[in-house]
Amino acid sequence: MDYPLILAGHEVHTDKKIEVRFPYDDSLVGRVSAADGEIVERALQSAQEAFARTRTLCAGHREDILLKVRQLLRERESEFVDIIVAETGKTTREAKVEVSRAQETLALAAALLREPPGEVIPFDVAPNGSHKWGFYKRFPLGPVLAITPFNFPLNLPMHKIAPAIAAGNPFIFKPASKTPITGLMLGKLIIEAGYPPEAVSVLPGSGAEIGEKLAADPRIKVVTFTGSSAVGKKLAVAAAGKHIALELGSNSAAIVLADADLFWAADRIAKGAVALAGQVCISTQRVYVEEVISDRFVEHLVSLMKRFRIGDPRDEMTDVGPMISRKDVERIKQWVSEAVASGGQILCGGNDRGNLFEPTVLVNVPQEAKVVQMEAFAPIVVVNPVSDLDEAINLVNDSRYGLNAGIFTRDITAARKAYEEIEVGGVIVNDVPSFRADIMPYGGVKDSGLGREGPRYAFEHMTYIKVFCAHQPEQE
Ligand code: NAP
């Protein structure tokens, strides 16, 4: 099937096509029209003009639109699940969770319009403020550019587009080239729900060709990007001086202390390592476990990892689907070989079949190895023993990334210490770093990015504060 792109609310076919393939068997899912320089220019022009309309939509109208998108998404849930599975290769169960979370993200964005951030300012507490009164509220900044990766083609765009609509901003959305169809379906829902069509452009196309050009254009006022650290850094340069949010990669770690519920920890870590075949920015990649329980923990973890069924993601019984491409399978095979050559051992997994890679547990891997230092983005977990919490925290922090970390312990003092000392955007106690709720402020430090998502935080990022201050002379 041929899918047109969306230019200022219109469906447009172009000569340049992107082929979308099912990662499980590389069969063709569809062909998508890609944007060229002229389409990009027209989208920018329209977004700029549309701002005059979107900025004046009243809050109730924007709330209705967001709730209507949610209702349409609920009605068409199975269509979205099927296309997400076909584009990403994630399992049907995982795709269902994504569609349901996208509805939650919409509900959270709509709720902002009932209690928008803003406050009364007590000017008269200061001597120079006597007889003054006022408040501030937030105003939309203007056209938003949203660029997203392949792994969550619905809910990651939703974290950008729903707050953009709540704020009253037009948007141009560039989905990942491997998964653009879901984004096009989302664009159509938003138009059907009543957002001004001229404010909606969904432009598939090579990020390297059109991404930086879009980000640098002065008509774009906000850039919100989720993807790799390498691309994020380029965008930070292209969009210098603009409001920019970067949600980037990680090699997330969990600590397991001797007093933890070992079975719960192993179960959560196994699931956190293989969700979406490990292709989640907060996949549980590194585990530092206190050595007194290390053998028992590893034994249990390995038995759980061996139980996962890998295979066709359309089969409801499948736990772990394929990786996104053969190239990525080859990359992780090489990294695992390098880890073994430097002294690491594979306790289970390590093999591939087509684009499937077996859930893999590695131990005794040196801290310098790629599977520890880089973002693996594969269903693997590296477990190393530590003598105490201090050593674990040092090793967690020995990373260029800092997105989420997890700690399993019953000791509140240890949990607090981890929270205080680990350099990340979130510390999850008694669960894996892979945990994210759509309501929470989410984002990282170091090479994991800047800014926070979650509808309220993204809304703040896409708006500016304007103060109202009035002088009221003393009544006679
Ligand atoms: P990617 O290669 O960085 O691509 C992400 C998006 O950027 C795609 O739409 C891509 O377009 C575009 N792009 C590529 N080069 C560009 C350029 N020079 N200028 C502007 N845009 C450009 O990432 P990916 O492989 O799709 O996704 C995996 C990465 O995303 C991982 O690092 C993962 O950790 C990260 N991620 C982070 C979060 C988070 O919330 N922190 C969530 C999910 C994923 P093309 O597809 O056309 O190349």
Ligand 1 neighbour 98 (Cβ under 6 A): no
Ligand 1 neighbour 207 (Cβ under 6 A): yes
Rounded distance from Cα 248 to ligand 1 centre (Å)? 8
pLDDT tens digits, 130-183: 999 999 999 999 999 999 999 999 999 999 999 999 999 999 999 999 999 999
Q: Which of 247, 358, 375, 460 is catalytic?
A: 247
Q: Is the dihedral of CA 391, 395, 396, 400 positive or negative?
A: positive
The reply to whether 58 belongs to the active site is no
Residue 184 · residue 12 · CB < 8 Å: no
pLDDT of residue 474: 75
Indicate the angle between helix axes 59-75 and 92-112, nearest 10 degrees.
170
pLDDT tens digits, 23-66: 999 999 999 999 999 999 999 999 999 999 999 999 999 999 99
Token pair 């009164």 in the structure block, residue: 133
Ligand 1 neighbour 424 (Cβ under 6 A): no
Confidence category of residue 207, pLDDT binned at 50, 70, 90: very high
Ligand 1 neighbour 226 (Cβ under 6 A): yes
Q: Which of 20, 177, 228, when mutated, tests ligand 1's pocket best, judged by the most ligand atoms within 8 Å of its CB?
A: 228
Q: Which of 155, 226, 276, 434, when mutated, tests ligand 1's pocket best, judged by the most ligand atoms within 8 Å of its CB?
A: 226
pLDDT of residue 475: 63
Tokens of 157: 């765009």
Atom of ligand 1 nearest to the CA of 281: 34
Ligand 1 neighbour 300 (Cβ under 6 A): no
Mean pLDDT value of segment 194-202: 98
Instruction: Give the CATH class of 2-248+444-467.
Output: alpha beta
pLDDT of residue 145: 98
Per the confidence metrics, is the pTM higher than 0.75? yes
Residue 89 · residue 323 · CB < 8 Å: yes
* Angle subtended at Cα 121 by Cα 129 and Cα 459, rounded to the nearest 5 degrees: 145
**Dmax of the chain from CA atoms?**
87
Task: Return the domain boundaries, the chain.
Answer: 2-248+444-467, 253-429
Rounded distance from Cα 351 to ligand 1 centre (Å)? 26
Q: Which of 281, 290, 453, 460 is catalytic?
A: 281
Percentage of the chain lying above the pLDDT 90 cut: 98
3-state secondary structure the chain: CEECEEECCEEECCCCEEEEECCCCCCEEEEEECCCHHHHHHHHHHHHHHHHHHCCCCHHHHHHHHHHHHHHHHHCHHHHHHHHHHHHCCCHHHHHHHHHHHHHHHHHHHHHCCCCCEEEECHHHCHHHCCEEEEEEEEECCCEEEECCCCCCCHHHHHHHHHHHHHCCCEEEECCCCCHHHHHHHHHHHHHCCCCHHHEEECCCCHHHHHHHHHHCCCCCEEEEECCHHHHHHHHHHCCCCEEEEECCCCCEEEECCCCCHHHHHHHHHHHHHHHHHCCCCCCCEEEEEHHHHHHHHHHHHHHHHHCCECCCCCCCCCECCCCCHHHHHHHHHHHHHHHHCCCEEEECCCEECCEECCEEEECCCCCCHHHHCCCCCCEEEEEEECCHHHHHHHHHCCCEECEEEEECCCHHHHHHHHHHCCCCEEEECCCCCCCCCCCCECCEECCEECCECHHHHHHHCEEEEEEEEECCCCC
pLDDT of residue 476: 54
Percentage of the chain lying above the pLDDT 70 cut: 100
Q: Is the pLDDT of residue 276 over 70?
A: yes
Q: Is the pLDDT of residue 306 over 80?
A: yes
Strand partners, 98: none
Residue located nearest, by CA, to atom 40 of ligand 1: 247
- Residue 424 and residue 443: Cα distance in Å, rounded? 8
pLDDT tens digits, 418-459: 999 999 999 999 999 999 999 999 999 999 999 999 999 999
Rounded distance from Cα 120 to ligand 1 centre (Å)? 40
Q: If we measure between CA atoms, which residue out of 97, 84, 110 comes closest to residue 185?
A: 84
Confidence category of residue 473, pLDDT binned at 50, 70, 90: confident
Strand partners, 384: 288
Ligand 1 neighbour 41 (Cβ under 6 A): no
Ligand 1 neighbour 249 (Cβ under 6 A): yes
pLDDT tens digits, 210-250: 999 999 999 999 999 999 999 999 999 999 999 999 999 99
Rounded distance from Cα 279 to ligand 1 centre (Å)? 12
Residue 253 · residue 351 · CB < 8 Å: no
The reply to whether 247 belongs to the active site is yes
253-429 to CATH, choices 3.40.50.2300, 3.40.309.10, 1.10.10.10, 3.80.10.10: 3.40.309.10
Mean pLDDT value of segment 292-316: 98
pLDDT tens digits, 359-418: 999 999 999 999 999 999 999 999 999 999 999 999 999 999 999 999 999 999 999 999
pLDDT of residue 117: 82
Residue 164 · residue 6 · CB < 8 Å: no
Q: Is the pLDDT of residue 355 over 70?
A: yes
pLDDT of residue 356: 98
Atom of ligand 1 nearest to the CA of 174: 9
Ligand 1 neighbour 212 (Cβ under 6 A): yes
pLDDT of residue 262: 97
